[in-house]
Amino acid sequence: MKLVVLGCGFHGRGVAYELAKMLEITDVVVADRDSALARQTAERIGAQWSSIDVQNGAALRDLIRGASLVFNAVGPYHYLQSGVRVVEAALAERVAYVDMNDDHEVAEELLLNPTWNEAAKEAGIAIITGTGIAPGMTGLLAKLGCQRFPEANSVDVKFSWNYSLAYPAALHHFFRLNSGFAPQFIDGVYVRPGAFSGSEKVAFLAPVGIKEVCYTGINDPVSISHSLPTLKRVTAKGAYHQQEANELLRTMVRWGFTSYEALSENTLSPFEYLMQFINSSTGKTYFDIPLEDAPMSVKVEIGEVGREQPALVLEGQDFSRRGTTSACAVVAAMLLRGEIDFTGVRAPEGCVDAEQFLSITAQHPDIKLFEWHAGRCQPLF
C-alpha cells in the first residue's frame, strides 16, 4: 500500500507520522516545495521524500501514480487553487483523496458543482474534503446531534481559537475567510451576509469563557447543509481568542488588505504583501500578539428554526493543534481500512460514522468532547 502526503508543514508531517504508525504502512512518500522539510519528515518515519510544487500537474501525477491514497495538506487550499489542482491529479490517476480543506471557496466548488462528484464516481474513487476540527469534527458533531434529535432542522457552529504567528498558513486562511465572501445557509438558501456581520457573544467552556464571534467562512454552512439535506439553516461563526487580533483582522479587511487584486502584473496583491510582511522578521515586531492560555473551542448547537434555545449542544476543546492532525489521520485511516466505502465527493459528515469517529477522537489526550443536557455539561463519551 502506497500513501502520499503532500505538504510537510505542522499538520502535514503530523498526518504522515500518525498514519505511518496507525497503519504500519511501509511505502510512504512525503512531499513539499521545501526539500529540506520533506527530507526531515521522511527521515523520522523511514519514508521516501520528494520536492514538488502542486501547481506542476505532470510531476504531481507522476508522484501519486499507483498510490492507495493521497492526503493533501497544502494550504491555504483556495490560494492558486491548490486544493483543486491535487483533486484533478487524483482523478486522473484514480487515487483516493483526503484533505483538511477549511476554505469555503474550495468546499463550494467541490461539493456544489456536481461535475466533481460525477468525475470521482467515474474514476471509482472516494474524495473526502474538510477533515480536521473545524470543519471536520464540527460536521460530525452536527451529524451525531441530528441523529439524536431527528426533529432538528438547524445547526449553528461557533468557535474561538488562538491567533499565532507560528502558523502562517492559518493566518492566511482566517484573514481570507473573514473578507465577506463566505456563504451561510439560512432559510434553505445560501446567502453572504458580509464581513463581521451577525456578531454575538458566546459562552464557551472554561478556560475559554465568553467570546464575541461573527459569521465566518469555514466549510460547514456548505458541507453540513449538503450532507444533511433536511436542514433549513446551517451557520458558522468564529473569531480569535485575542480581541487585539480581531481588531487587526477587522482593520485589514476594512482597508482592502485581504484583496488579491494586484496593482499591476509585476506587483504583489495587497493580501500577498500583507502575508509576507506579517511573517517577515520586521513584521513580527508589529504583528506578534501574545497567546491566550486556552484551547481551541467549538460549540455545535442543534435545534429547530424558530425555537430560541437549541435542543442539544455539543462542544469540543483542542488543547494542542495536534488534535486537528489526529482528526485528519483518523478519517484517512478509516478510508484506507475500508471502513468508509463510497465513490464520489463528500465531506466527512456525508460518509463517516459519526459515533465511531468521535469515540476514537475522544481518546486523544488533548481533545475533550462534551454534551449539554438540561443545562448540565458532561463528557460526550
* Whole-number pLDDT of residue 21: 87
* Whole-number pLDDT of residue 37: 96
Cα separation of the two ends of the chain: 33
In this predicted structure, the answer to whether residue 12 has a pLDDT above a threshold of 80 is yes
Q: 189 - beta bridge partners?
A: 186
* Whole-number pLDDT of residue 113: 98
DSSP code at position 307: -
| pLDDT band at 265; cut points 50, 70, 90 | confident
* Whole-number pLDDT of residue 66: 96
pTM higher than 0.85: yes
Which residue in the block uniquely carries the three cell numbers 449542544? 313
Sequence-distant (≥ 6) Cβ neighbours of residue 275 within 8 angstroms? 168, 171, 172, 175
Task: Please write the tens of the pLDDT for every residue from 319-331.
Answer: 998 888 999 999 9
Mean per-residue pLDDT, 152-170? 95
In this predicted structure, the answer to whether residue 346 has a pLDDT above a threshold of 90 is yes
Which residue in the block uniquely carries the three cell numbers 479587511? 253
Q: From residue 200, give the alpha-carbon distance in Å to each of 211, 216, 268.
A: 8, 12, 35
Whether the bond between 379 and the residue before it is cis, its omega within 30 degrees of 0, is no
In this predicted structure, the answer to whether residue 176 has a pLDDT above a threshold of 80 is yes
More confidently predicted of 108 and 266:
108
Spell out the domains of the chain, with CATH numbers in brackets.
2-131+323-353 (3.40.50.720), 133-319+359-379 (3.30.360)
Whether 104 and 183 have beta carbons less than 8 Å apart is answered as: yes
| pLDDT band at 86; cut points 50, 70, 90 | very high
Classify 211 as helix, strand or coil: strand
Task: Please write the tens of the pLDDT for every residue from 365-377.
Answer: 999 999 987 788 9
* Whole-number pLDDT of residue 51: 96
Dihedral angle sign, alpha carbons of residues 95, 96, 102, 107: positive
Sequence-distant (≥ 6) Cβ neighbours of residue 201 within 8 angstroms? 210, 211, 212, 213
| pLDDT band at 1; cut points 50, 70, 90 | confident
Residue % of the chain over a pLDDT of 90: 91
The CB-side HSE value for 346 (13 A sphere, CA atoms) comes to: 21
DSSP code at position 80: G
Cα Rg, the chain, nearest whole Å: 20
Sequence-distant (≥ 6) Cβ neighbours of residue 294 within 8 angstroms? 162, 207, 208, 209, 241
Residue 308, judged by CB atoms within 10 A of its CB (0-12, 13-18, 19+), counts as exposed
What is the rounded average pLDDT for all residues in the chain? 95
